Amino acid sequence: MKYIVSPQWVSERLSRDDVRVIDCRFYMGDSSRGINEYIQSHIPGALYFDLERDLSGPVREHGGRHPLPDFDELMEKLSAAGIDRHTTIVAYDDQDGAMAARFWWLLRYLGHERIYVLDGGYTRWKGAGYPITEEVVAFPKRTFIPAYQPSLLATTEDVRRASEQDSAILLDSREPKRYLGIEEPIDRIAGHIPGAKNCFWKDALTSEGYWKKPHEQAARFASISKDEKIIVYCGSGVTACPNVLALSEAGYTNVQLYVGSFSDWISYPDHPIATGEN
């Protein structure tokens, strides 16, 4: 696999100075739980990045519930973590890869190629007997210099055009009940962006919580040509990221993330909403 790495792969590299491990555990509705779990135990050498404080910006009228962070601030945090363009980074969480994939996408957007996601997450790392610690370490500061990749990001206008003119495939990563408009526990309006297909993000993983192999990911997206442009969204630009990662594993290269996602889409009163099957 291209961006998914095994616990053994990570374990063999933990002592290297050019490797950083990033703990991204975060629980929606309990914003302090992830950092508290990190303080209790984590992978040796891991540093903590918080979904809402580090990997998202403040919520405004538009932009969704987890908009892009201030990149100057993020780059300062990456530099303080001892990360530069030569650093190999492994991100993990305990949420089936959703938070780690958000970190992975942000680093890819900043032009960093040496960024990976730990297969199985923290619980399976711990359960397999790999080392854990309470020790929080610091690293010498380095300078993170971005090389932005705007082609990885879809704007609201891109999504509007895709919905109206079929200029791209729209993939809704939420669970089917939310896509269909049967149930909406978070956003004020239920349904989906007109024209979007549903592809639940958790189907990227096996029943044991590991990432499916590239050929299995490819089977999930078999109805979509690799020549098509694909825009992936969810509720707020977090759980769409595992699907972006899965598409990358399956060999798709023209894939964009709509960071604002459905929570941004419905912030515009004139945007239509679809329910049921298209």
pLDDT for 163: 97
Question: Is the distance from CB of 261 to CB of 235 less than 8 angstroms?
Answer: yes
For the chain, what percent of residues have pLDDT higher than 70?
Answer: 100
Beta bridge partners of 90: 21, 116
For residues 51-64, give the mean pLDDT: 97
Q: Residue 277: which pLDDT band, with cuts at 50, 70 and 90?
A: confident
Report the C-alpha gap between 169 and 167 in whole angstroms: 7
Identify the CA nearest to 117 among candidates 126, 128, 105.
105
pLDDT category, 132, cuts 50, 70, 90?
Answer: very high
pTM reported for the whole predicted model = 0.97
Q: Which of 105, 214, 116 is nearest to 151 (CA)?
A: 105
What is residue 188's predicted lDDT score, i.e. its pLDDT?
A: 86
Q: In the chain, what percentage of residues exceed pLDDT 90?
A: 96
Q: Is the dihedral of CA 32, 73, 187, 252 positive or negative?
A: negative
Answer whether 230's CB lies under 8 Å from 162's CB: no
- Catalytic residue flag (residue 234): yes
Both tokens of residue 81? 């973590």
pLDDT at residue number 73 = 98
Which pairing describes strands 230-233 and 197-198: parallel, antiparallel, or unpaired? unpaired
CA-CA distance, 258 to 254, in Å (whole number)? 13
Tell me, what's the pLDDT at 39?
A: 98
Considering the candidates 24, 199, 234, 241, report the single residue annotated as catalytic.
234
Contact between residue 92 and residue 49 where contact means Cβ atoms under 8 Å apart: no
pLDDT value at residue 278: 66
Determine the average pLDDT of the residues in 168-173: 98
